[in-house]
Chains A and B, each alone.
Chain A
Amino acid sequence: MAVKISFKLNGEDVSINVDDHVTLMDMLREEFDLFGAKEGCGYGECGSCTVLVDDKAVNSCLMLAVAVNGRSVLTIEGLAGPRGELDPLQKSFVEKGAVQCGFCTPGMIMSAKALLLEKPCPTEEEIRKGMAGNLCRCTGYAKIVEAIKAASERGCSCGKDS
């Protein structure tokens, strides 16, 4: 059965008819052509489908599309500024070599985004714990941690050495 839902997608109000059983990930990919959220597992185990719902990181593969009715969804495609200027996280991921095959990257960046929204200057331990739901097979994570630290330094005002 299709139901009509309305929500904010990357800052824009959208409405769409969607079947009850469709996941948020499938809706983003199939209906909105937003391919940033990737299916690495489909079971909540890898984080490559991570998007933000009401500023919180969720696995879009386990969330039903109908459940975002009335909420706000942010995907990797909505992260850059209005004129395409990259988010500090996106920049630091490139500059610090945090990207290899890149399949995990959008999910990684979205998880990191949620982390920094909540904690602008996390410690390394907090980064590792906060990012634990995102698997990467290529990088060994070190450069991703570095990239998140670098991005957080821009948003951090506490002077703490993270």
Chain B
Amino acid sequence: MAKTLEPKTKEMEFTSIGQRVPKLDAWDKVQGKTMYIHDVKLPRMLHGKILWSKYAHARIVSIDTSKAEQLPGVRAVITGYNTPEIRCGFIKDNPVLKKDKVRQYRDEVAAVAADTPEIAEEAIKLIDVVYEELPGVFDPEEAMQEGAPLIHEDKGSNVLKLPWKMICGDVEEGRKQADYIVEETYKLPFVTHCCLGTSGCIAQFDAKGNLTVYSPTQIRYLAQKDFQEALNALGLKGKKVKVIQTAIGGGFGSKLDTYPFEFITILLAYYTGRPVKLVYSREEEFFASPGRQPVRAKISQGCTKEGKLTFRDVEMILDNGAYTSWGATTPSVMMMPISSLYQVPNIRYVAKCVHTNNIYSTAMRGYGNPQATFAIESQLDTLAEKAGIDPWEFRMINRNKPGEITPQKFEVGSCGMKECLEAVKEKLQWDEKRGKGNGRGVGIASLIHVGGGARIYKSDGCGTILKLDDFGKVSLLTSASDMGQGSETVLAQIVAEELGLHVEDVDVIMKDTNLEIWDAGAHASRSTFVAGNSALYAARKAKEEILEFAATMLKEPKENLYLRDRMLYSRNNPEVSMTIDKLLRAAHFRTNGRQIVVSEFYDPPTQMLDREMKGNFSAAYTYGVHGVEVEVDKETGQIKILKMVIAMDVGRAINPMAVEGQLEGGGAMGLGYSLMEELHLEKGKVLNGNFLDYKIMTFPDMPPIESVIVETYDEKGPFGAKGIGEPPLVGSAPAIANAVWDALGVRIRELPITPEKIVAALEGKKGS
């Protein structure tokens, strides 16, 4: 269901925008022709394999690789002792091959390259490592205690020197103004991306020492920069790195950083002089590909008798694991809902990331937002109940509005929170269904997310090159990445629309750092907005050139000319009509003629957060509301999701089918996070690294999801669009927790909401 915008004039009636255009790459995918990293073979390619630590915290006494080296077919065996040191992660605390000590169960201790994966695997087993086990620490709160084992001795403390703090207004004053206050603690588990395609890469050096890395990365250009550092470490300063992106078998944030395995592959390729491929097994993917950061949150919020929120106070402890990747920066995004979800005048947020001997974490769809929103939105229901206000009304009272400036200085443009709340209320039949307490219940939760990029690097830009050929076809070279979400198609739609062409006329090329311009990566739900604007502005430049040439050639005023359906027309002169390909040939094949090639680098008008963590981080903000109806079996604690409604303000749905795909897929991931996903660790070791024990939703588990697309038209977005990749996951868990509360009167403050927890809570309720 989409509320569509009225076209203004005839030629404003869209031909591509708003259409359910099938994904351009789907044709290859349904035939099994798409090449993922697993499928790429290069001549003389070797296979790499990593030896993982068998202790969560231990000294490495010795490593004996001699037996492995003697195995026929082994081409290189490397350790931290026979290679130059390379460190990865944004604070460079993660040596890619560990020396002296290991800090997590899955630390990289050695690696081999061999003729076949089997030989590599056998060789790994022949490496003898002597460890001396050290006491470990696996709980962040224990790790903060005086005398806890230090994970990184050189850091002097397990608490990361990355204190997250944001103050807006005066929380103490807010507490005084509040008639009702609720204070609680929430807990969120380790979960992981579960991309169906596991991680992997291929590294290859040319004769001159230049490096090519084939990788399903979400950050071609940042990876290129990181890999450059590896070359420097190898004494290859000045040599070039090229990253070629293979098809991505799922991303969701997992491929937003560079990891030791990639550098190890580069080292193996360097020492063997041959291309080396290293691909994770599923088991490795579970323990070695970092997931979402676990969080403990103490939160209090207060409101007046009338239900106006007066303050929000949040303290968090994040289990940072042994090393630092993007997981440690998720508080920068948690701040967004904490400061700006609903109108709250007084806010305090502090967060600590604490090293433990657990596995470390990275970015994952939502980037901290799901954890923070779970706490905020669950608690809002309790607060509303205390104030005697219907939770939906409560949200309406405090809702965000278009044009507001939030305490964190976000400049909200379009905001469809009201429309989303209203749609969910209607679809859920909120008034009829709520408050029955008979084992059935309804719950809602709202969310805010960045929808117009997010300035976490100095540039949040994205580049586009457009080449128009003699046949009326366009090559669109974009630095964006498509992990399946459909950016390729959306960008083609934008360019086709602007140039009056059909989507089939646009070839999208997104794969090679040497071909395309630069991009900050596929994160922050930014591709449609940032890459979309980049493509749109490039197409405008090309259109200008075409129209200018046509105006001269046809002696028609340029303002009158327009492109549509592969044709050039004039508004005032019905005589003017010419196919675009003919026009392009006319522009090319003449004296001083040329093919039209334009480029554009779009960097959204946003600010980096200042020292106080404030500033207009994103050029647009996406809002949404999740609604669910549940039926809970009071005896077994099993939850049946009867219905899930996801209403999202996407600005404009450039491709409604793709938007629904994000809503349904994000909804499924959100349901998994809410109900069944959890990586179980025992002393740092993952116990359930397989798809039977780490449970994601299956076909029969999925309830019907009703997608409601709200279109508010954001002035800054391409054709009014805002980003939508992450939000559909964000509000699922609190909506379910709230529905469980409505159904049973028990509050589950820890994910996943399992039958065991429900049964225990019901027993607790009976007992009290």
Contact = CB atoms under 8 A, between A and B. Distances in A.
Contacts of B20: 97
A104 B32 contact: no
A143 to B, nearest CB: 6
A37 B38 CA distance: 11
B120 to A, nearest CB: 15
A30 B208 CA distance: 31
Contacts of B696: 135, 137
A38 B197 contact: yes
Contacts of B194: 137
A101 B30 contact: no
A103 B197 contact: yes
Interface string A96-138: 1101111111100100000000000000000111011011111
Contacts of A86: 30-31
B23 A103 contact: no
A143 B249 contact: no
A108 B30 CA distance: 9
B668 interface: yes
A35 B32 contact: yes
Contacts of A140: 661, 663-669, 697, 702, 705
A40 B699 contact: no
Given A90-B31, A140-B667, A46 B484 contact: no
Contacts of B486: 100
Contacts of B250: 101, 103, 137-138
B248 A101 contact: yes
Contacts, number: 174
B422 interface: no
A2 interface: no
Contact of B195 (A76, A95, A137): A137
A62 B27 CA distance: 28
B29 A105 contact: yes
A101 B195 contact: yes
Nearest to A111: B699
Interface size class on chain B is: 35 or more
A141 interface: yes
A94 B26 contact: yes
A91 B196 CA distance: 22
A75 interface: yes
A39 B32 CA distance: 13
A101 B32 contact: no
A20 interface: no
B196 A101 contact: yes
Contacts of A39: 38, 198, 282
Interface SS of chain B: loop
Contacts of A105: 29-30, 32
Contacts of B702: 128, 140-142
Nearest to A147: B30
A13 interface: no
Interface in B173-208: 193-198
A99 B664 CA distance: 12
Interface string B103-132: 000000000000000000000000000000
B698 interface: yes
B39 interface: yes
Contacts of B26: 93-94, 99, 102
Interface size class on chain A is: 35 or more
B30 to A, nearest CB: 4
Most chain A Cβ neighbours within 10 Å, of B29, B657, B666: B29
A80 interface: yes
B27 A43 contact: no
Nearest to A78: B32
Given A38-B38, A45-B692, A137-B250, A101 B31 contact: no
Most chain A Cβ neighbours within 10 Å, of B248, B249, B660, B666: B249
B658 interface: yes
Contacts of B699: 127-129, 131-132, 134, 141, 144-145
A101 B483 contact: yes
B221 interface: no
A41 to B, nearest CB: 4
Interface in A73-92: 75-77, 79-80, 86, 89-91
B508 to A, nearest CB: 15
Contacts of B196: 38, 40, 46, 48, 101, 103-104, 135-138
Contacts of B238: none
B700 A94 contact: no
A6 B663 CA distance: 47
B544 to A, nearest CB: 34
Contact of B27 (A94, A109, A128, A137): A94
B427 to A, nearest CB: 16
A143 B691 CA distance: 22
B691 A135 contact: yes
B36 A106 contact: no
B687 interface: no
Contacts of B31: 36, 76-77, 79-80, 86, 90
What 6 A-B pairs are tightest by C-beta distance, nearest first? A36-B32, A101-B484, A102-B29, A140-B668, A140-B664, A100-B484
Interface of B: 20, 22-23, 25-32, 34-36, 38-39, 193-198, 247-252, 281-282, 483-486, 657-658, 660-661, 663-669, 690-692, 696-700, 702, 704-705
Given A102-B34, A138-B250, A140-B702, 4 more contacts: A38-B38, A45-B691, A91-B30, A142-B704
Interface of A: 29, 34-43, 45-46, 48, 75-77, 79-80, 86, 89-91, 93-97, 99-106, 109, 127-129, 131-132, 134-145
7 contacts: A41-B690, A45-B691, A76-B30, A90-B31, A99-B29, A141-B699, A142-B705
